[in-house]
Chain A
Amino acid sequence: AQKITQTQPGMFVQEKEAVTLDCTYDTSDPSYGLFWYKQPSSGEMIFLIYQGSYDQQNATEGRYSLNFQKARKSANLVISASQLGDSAMYFCAMRGHDYKLSFGAGTTVTVRA
């Protein structure tokens, strides 16, 4: 069974600073996809970034980058130059065998002015 672990329930970050959100996963599949989603207080789920298990480069999308360490089975999200609008819950997710998409427990980020 695949398992996603996010060990940081909550984090505070100063505006304009970078923050790293941890995510580790467990799977026996050789091919899988890793995703990060943002959930603001309004409740919608917003896709941020994707990393495929065979991708040679770490994924980047604007201020979001993914620090992918395949051997360690970690896929940490880095948000650079934090903004007040980045305050939200962030979820790591993985899609592996059977196309099941599983999520971690999430990390709440609060950006301070």
Chain B
Amino acid sequence: NAGVTQTPKFQVLKTGQSMTLQCAQDMNHNSMYWYRQDPGMGLRLIYYSASEGTTDKGEVPNGYNVSRLNKREFSLRLESAAPSQTSVYFCASSEAGERGRRTEAFFGQGTRLTVV
């Protein structure tokens, strides 16, 4: 049971390069999320997708784009990487459900990205 799979696990980019972080889930979840984690700042939401075909900005969307390719896959693209985007990136998925229902998110293993 793979759960949420992120690729790659590690990446070093030069300033100005572009790349796409891939995420796929096999739990038939409607909601998917991208977060970045920086020391002392917890997980900050970059973008999320409540269902296939929809995406919404989170707290820190600048410099990123996303694509909800289908129900399984939600990719995060950095068009022109900057050193400030050095971080650990997590993808997560959850059932949509009603807001008060238990719908815990399942996380990928993370991608450690360094922009030099």
Q: Which residues of B contact A31 (CB under 8 A)?
A: 98-100
Decide yes or no: A105 and B40 within 8 Å by CB, A45-B90, A45-B92, A53-B100 being known contacts: yes
- Binary A-proximity of B16-54 (CB < 8 A = 1, otherwise 0): 000000000000000101010000111111001010000
Residue count of chain B within 8 Å CB distance of chain A: 31
How long is the Cα–Cα vector from A102 to B46 in the complex, in angstroms?
A: 10
- Whether B43 lies near A95 (C-beta < 8 A) is no
- Binary A-proximity of B87-98 (CB < 8 A = 1, otherwise 0): 010101010101
Smallest Cβ-Cβ distance to A107: which chain B residue: B42
A12 interface residue per 8 A CB criterion: no
Give chain B's interface secondary structure class. loop
Chain A min CB distance to B48 (Å):
6
- Most chain B CB within a 10 A radius of its CB, from A29, A91, A95: A95
- Most chain B CB within a 10 A radius of its CB, from A33, A97, A101: A101
Smallest Cβ-Cβ distance to B4: which chain A residue: A45
Q: Which residues of B contact A100 (CB under 8 A)?
A: 45, 48, 56, 58
Smallest Cβ-Cβ distance to B107: which chain A residue: A45
A85 interface residue per 8 A CB criterion: no
Q: Which residues of A contact B90 (CB under 8 A)?
A: 45
Q: Which residues of B contact A43 (CB under 8 A)?
A: 88, 109-110
